[in-house]
Amino acid sequence: MIFNKDTAEKTAELLLQINAIKLNPENPFTWASGWKSPIYCDNRLILSFPSIRNYVRDEFAKNIEKQFGKPDVIAGVATGAIGVGILVAESLGLPFVYVRPEPKKHGRQNQVEGFLQKGQNVVVVEDLISTGKSSLLAVEALRNEGANIKGMAAVFTYGFGVAEENFKEANVDLFTLSNYENLLDLAVQKQYITEDQQSTLQEWSVSPSTWGQE
């Protein structure tokens, strides 16, 4: 679910402007999973544009506090959300931790890096939601450390049905700055894509795992 419509449209426009999101239905990208996709999203680019990263920081900080209440800790999911997570934590004056995909193989073998006490309220910051599996593994790691997860805030989601199911099953509320639906509407309005291309992009979102495999 998006925080609000205005933020969703503005965020989508900014991501398109800096090519953090690329739309190419005629020459689809291939994801690491093997899926063919007419969209590629790299929200790490946000950090390279000061005015845009400040906008993302401010929208996260304002909407996280409004939606979840002020947490005790902000947690970023490694590696894509570490940078923006730190910005949000700094804006809110809160401690920050980050979560590795898996525990370190050496030393203290941490998966959650930073100081976290049992029972603390945590909001997790993520850059991108596809199926939600890796994001929810981070939630699981935090819960294993005794954290109380208030919810997750992400820059962008593809809005897959499987992601909605995964978050519901994990009992995690997800809110995003923008999503696929608002992105496509904005992309047509600003002439990044045609209406025919929009139809192709909408078809992909219905069955992304099989799209383009014929």
* Number of Cβ within a 10 Å radius of residue 9: 18
* Per-residue pLDDT reduced to its tens digit, 39-49: 999 999 999 99
In whole angstroms, give the CA distance from residue 100 to residue 78.
Answer: 5
Q: Is 169 helix (H, G, I), strand (E, B) or coil?
A: helix
Give Cα 65 to chain centroid, integer Å.
Answer: 17
The mean pLDDT value for 130-155 works out to 96
Please check the confidence at residue 105 and state whether its pLDDT lies above 70. no
User: What are the domain boundaries of the chain?
Assistant: 3-204
21 annotated among ligand-binding-site residues: no
Would the pLDDT of 164 be above 70? yes
pLDDT at 214 over 90: no
Indicate if the pLDDT at residue 116 is higher than 90. yes
Q: How confident is the model at residue 23 (pLDDT cuts 50, 70, 90)?
A: very high
| Residue 30 annotated as lining a ligand binding site | no
**Average of pLDDT values for 142-167?**
96
Distance CA 118, CA 15 (A): 36
pLDDT score of 102: 83
| CATH code, residues 3-204 | 3.40.50.2020
Whether residue 108 has pLDDT greater than 90? no
190 is in an annotated binding site: no
- The whole model's pTM is what? 0.94
Q: Is 128 a known ligand-binding residue?
A: yes
Does the annotation place 181 within a ligand binding site? no
pLDDT in the model for residue 107:
61
- Sign for the CA dihedral angle at 12, 16, 19, 22 comes to positive
Write the pLDDT tens digit of every residue in 24-76: 999 999 988 888 999 999 999 999 999 999 999 999 999 999 999 999 999 99
Note whether 139 and 124 are within 8 A (CB): yes
Query: Does residue 45 have a known ligand-binding role?
Result: no
List CB contacts of 23: < 8 A, sequence separation 6 or more: 16, 38, 39, 187, 192, 193, 197, 201
Whether 129 has a binding-site annotation, put simply, is: yes
209 pLDDT tier (thresholds 50, 70, 90): confident
pLDDT band of residue 104 (cuts 50, 70, 90) is low
